[in-house]
Amino acid sequence: MDLQKGIPSDKETTHEDVVKSLNTCCLCGTSLEFTHVTHADVHRVQEAAKCPSCGIQTKVNTFILQ
């Protein structure tokens, strides 16, 4: 799979695009610190992002592992 930079497609949003858009604080632009908690027993990963500057935490995303 080729790397695509700069031009997000209209319909397909990759995980990479989502991460990139969520990678900075919406308030101050500081790079967020991500925390991943894996729940192997239920095949899920919880992702939380926190701004080290503001101290805010974005909503937790849950990914279901296959």
| Residues whose CB is less than 8 angstroms from the CB of residue 24 and which lie 6 or more positions away in sequence, other chains included | 30, 31, 32
Instruction: Output the smallest distance, CB 26 to Zn ion, in A.
Output: 8
Instruction: Output the smallest distance, CB 34 to Zn ion, in A.
Output: 14
* Residue at token pair 């604080």: 25
Tell me which stretch binds Zn ion (CB under 5 A): 4-12, 15-23, 34-42, 54-62: 54-62
In the range 7-46, which residues lie near Zn ion by CB under 5 A?
Answer: 25, 27-28, 30
Q: Which residues pair with 64 in a beta bridge?
A: 44
Type and span of the H or E element at 33: strand 33-39
Interface contacts to Zn ion, rule CB under 5 A = 25, 27-28, 30, 51, 53-54
